[in-house]
Amino acid sequence: MKKVIQIVLAVVIVILGYILVDQIVTPLRFQAEQARREAAIIERLKDIRTAERAYKQLYQQYTGSFDTLIHFLLNDSLEYEKAIGSADDSLAVAKGLVKREKFKVAAIDTVFGARKLTPEMIKDFPYIPHSIDKAKFYLEAGVFTTESGVVVPVFEVRAPYKLYLSDLDAQELRNLVDDREKLDKYPGLKVGAMNQATNDAGNWE
């Protein structure tokens, strides 16, 4: 009988040990995977923001359509100016040798600077990296009127936690969402805002 009790106690100790370790490891594992996934999502949100800003530069507004944004990047061009001659050279200016020349560059070749994105990468813009079933970002665009009456173009791109973390521990996800909602913050990653002028800031910045 004594031996049976010892075996039962040993099993209980093992189970309790497993539960304790699991309670410690599960949140750490969740946080590590969340950080890994969000690094890729933030990178894409930054690219979308860059593209939206370039689109606004050409059309004086943001777009709420990924199809339109992708078409702009793959087919449109941006106009730039370059100076020919030096405006500091008074003789050249007097002779009319100093002028400015306009030229165009394909959007895909200039919008992202030294970082070159392929057409395939741009076509993936609507999709949240590491999402469940290739879920898409929520994209909106419009205008916002400030308290001083100034009307400014705005846009917002959102990726809720549930679309890229729901295959992980359910309780950890609920805790994460609850914590954000208690702070009146968006439960996920987003850039820009429809209800305020944020200078297109991301909520991770």
For 185-200, how does the pLDDT look when each residue is reduced to its tens digit (9 = 90+)?
Answer: 999 999 999 998 888 9
Q: What is the mean pLDDT of residues 79-86?
A: 69
Say how many domains are in the chain: 1
Q: Give the Cα separation of 20 and 14 in Å (integer).
A: 10
Residue 147 pLDDT: 86
- For residues 81-102, average pLDDT: 62
Per the structure block, which two tokens stand in for 124?
A: 């993936």
Whether 202 is covered by a domain: the verdict is no
Asked if residue 12 belongs to a domain, the reply is yes
Q: Is residue 199 part of a domain?
A: no
Domain boundaries, position 141: 2-192
Alpha helices (H) in 60-186, listed in sequence order: 66-75, 90-94, 107-110, 119-123, 161-164, 170-182
Q: How high is the pLDDT of residue 105?
A: 86
Residue 205 belongs to a domain: no
Contacts of 176 (CB under 8 A, 6+ apart): 34, 161, 165, 187
- pTM of this prediction? 0.81
pLDDT score at 14: 59
189 versus 149: the higher-pLDDT residue is: 189
The reply to whether 164 falls in a domain is yes
In a domain, 200, yes or no: no
* Nearest of 50, 92, 85, 82 to residue 69 by alpha carbon: 50
Q: What is the largest CA-CA distance in the chain?
A: 112
Q: Is residue 51 part of a domain?
A: yes
